[in-house]
A and B are shown apart, each in its own frame.
Chain A
Amino acid sequence: MLLARGLSKTYESGGNAFTALKNINLKIDAGDCLAIIGKSGSGKSTLMHLLACLDAPSSGEIVFEGKNVAAYTERQKDRFRNEKFGFVFQQFFLNGRDTVLENVTLPLKIRGVSGLESRVKGLRVLDMVGLADKADNRAKDLSGGEKQRVCIARALVGEPKVLFADEPTGNLDSANSEAIENLLFDLNRKHGVAIVIVTHDADLADKCSRVIELRDGEIVAEKISVVEQEVINEYV
Chain B
Amino acid sequence: MNTFEIIKTANKNLWRHKLRTFLTVSAIFVGAFTLTMTNGLGDGLRDYIENQVKNIEGNNVLFVRKKFETENKDAPKTDAPAEYKETVQDEAGNMIDPNTVLATLPQMETLIKEIPEIKTITPSYRIDGEYITLDGSKKYQLELGMLSEGVTQKAEAGKTIDGENQIMLPLSLARAFDENIKNLVGKTATIAYKVGQNGEIKTQNLQIVGVATKGFMSNYNSFVDAKTARAIYEDQSRNNQFFNQFGNFTFLLTTGEAKRVGEIKKALDAKGFSAETIADQKKRTYNGIAIFQLGMNLFALVALLAASFGVINTLIIAVMERTKEIGLQKALGMSRGKVFLLFTLEAVLIGFWGAVLGIAAAFGVGQIVNLYAARELFSSFEGFQLLIFLPQSVLIVVALVCGITFVSGVLPALRASRLNPIEALRYE
Instruction: Please report whether the interface of chain B is mostly helix, strand, loop or mixed according to DSSP.
Output: helix
Residue of B nearest to A77 (CB): B333
Q: Is the CB of B333 within 8 A of A81?
A: yes
B1-56 interface (Cβ within 8 A of A): 1-2, 5, 9, 16
Partner of B332, one of A55, A74, A75, A81: A81
Complex alpha-carbon distance, A54 and B331, angstroms:
7
Residue of A nearest to B6 (CB): A109
Partner of B5, one of A55, A83, A93, A112: A112
Complex alpha-carbon distance, A112 and B6, angstroms:
10
Q: Is the CB of A81 within 8 A of B331?
A: yes
A85-111 interface (Cβ within 8 A of B): 87, 89, 91, 93, 95, 97, 106-107, 109-111
Q: Does A78 contact B (CB under 8 A)?
A: yes
Residue of B nearest to A107 (CB): B332
Complex alpha-carbon distance, A95 and B324, angstroms:
10
Q: Is the CB of B331 within 8 A of A110?
A: no
Q: Does B329 contact A (CB under 8 A)?
A: yes
- Binary interface encoding of chain B residues 295-338 relative to chain A, with 1 for a CB under 8 A from any of its CBs, else 0: 00000000000000000000000000000110111111111111
User: How far in angstroms is the closest Cβ of chain B from A124?
Assistant: 18
Complex alpha-carbon distance, A81 and B421, angstroms:
12
Q: Does A189 contact B (CB under 8 A)?
A: no
Q: Does B95 contact A (CB under 8 A)?
A: no
Q: Is the CB of A112 within 8 A of B2?
A: yes
Residues of A within 8 A of B336 (CB): 74-75, 78
User: How far in angstroms is the closest Cβ of chain A from B289?
Assistant: 49
Complex alpha-carbon distance, A91 and B422, angstroms:
13
Q: Does B425 contact A (CB under 8 A)?
A: yes
Q: Does A42 contact B (CB under 8 A)?
A: no
User: How far in angstroms is the closest Cβ of chain A from B326?
Assistant: 10
With A49-B422, A55-B422 in contact, do A106 and B335 touch (Cβ < 8 Å)? no
Q: Is the CB of A95 within 8 A of B332?
A: no
Instruction: Please report whether the interface of chain A is mostly helix, strand, loop or mixed according to DSSP.
Output: helix
Residue of A nearest to B324 (CB): A93
Complex alpha-carbon distance, A122 and B330, angstroms:
20
Residue of B nearest to A154 (CB): B332
Partner of B333, one of A55, A89, A95, A107: A107
Q: Is the CB of B335 within 8 A of A74?
A: yes
Q: Is the CB of A110 within 8 A of B16?
A: no
Partner of A54, one of B2, B16, B421: B421
Q: Is the CB of A93 within 8 A of B1?
A: no
User: How far in angstroms is the closest Cβ of chain B from A47?
Assistant: 12
Q: Is the CB of A82 within 8 A of B422?
A: no
A53-83 interface (Cβ within 8 A of B): 54-55, 74-75, 78-83
Partner of A110, one of B324, B327, B334, B421: B334
Complex alpha-carbon distance, A112 and B4, angstroms:
10
Residues of A within 8 A of B329 (CB): 106, 110
User: How far in angstroms is the closest Cβ of chain A from B16?
Assistant: 7
Residue of A79, A91, A106 with highest tally of chain B CB at under 10 A: A106
Q: Is the CB of B332 within 8 A of A97?
A: no
Residues of A within 8 A of B9 (CB): 109
Residue of B nearest to A115 (CB): B5
User: How far in angstroms is the closest Cβ of chain A from B20?
Assistant: 15
Q: Is the CB of A112 within 8 A of B335?
A: no
With A97-B16, A110-B1 in contact, do A83 and B331 touch (Cβ < 8 Å)? no
Residues of A within 8 A of B330 (CB): 78
Residue of B nearest to A114 (CB): B2
Residues of A within 8 A of B2 (CB): 112
Q: Is the CB of B425 within 8 A of A93?
A: yes
Q: Is the CB of A91 within 8 A of B425?
A: yes
Complex alpha-carbon distance, A107 and B16, angstroms:
21
Complex alpha-carbon distance, A74 and B332, angstroms:
13
Q: Is the CB of B5 within 8 A of A87?
A: no
Complex alpha-carbon distance, A120 and B2, angstroms:
19
Residues of A within 8 A of B334 (CB): 78, 82, 110
Q: Is the CB of B333 within 8 A of A83?
A: yes
B332-363 interface (Cβ within 8 A of A): 332-338
Complex alpha-carbon distance, A78 and B113, angstroms:
84
With A93-B325, A93-B425, A97-B16 in contact, do A109 and B333 touch (Cβ < 8 Å)? no
B396-428 interface (Cβ within 8 A of A): 421-422, 425
Residue of B nearest to A52 (CB): B331
B168-207 interface (Cβ within 8 A of A): none
User: How far in angstroms is the closest Cβ of chain A from B136?
Assistant: 82
Complex alpha-carbon distance, A106 and B333, angstroms:
10
With A95-B325, A110-B1, A112-B5 in contact, do A82 and B425 touch (Cβ < 8 Å)? no
Interface residues of B (CB under 8 A from A): 1-2, 5, 9, 16, 324-325, 327-338, 421-422, 425
The 11 sampled A-B contact pairs (Cβ below 8 Å) are A75-B336, A75-B337, A78-B330, A78-B334, A79-B333, A80-B333, A81-B333, A82-B333, A91-B324, A93-B425, A110-B1
8 smallest beta-carbon distances between A and B, as pairs? A82-B333, A93-B328, A78-B333, A81-B333, A78-B335, A110-B334, A107-B332, A112-B2
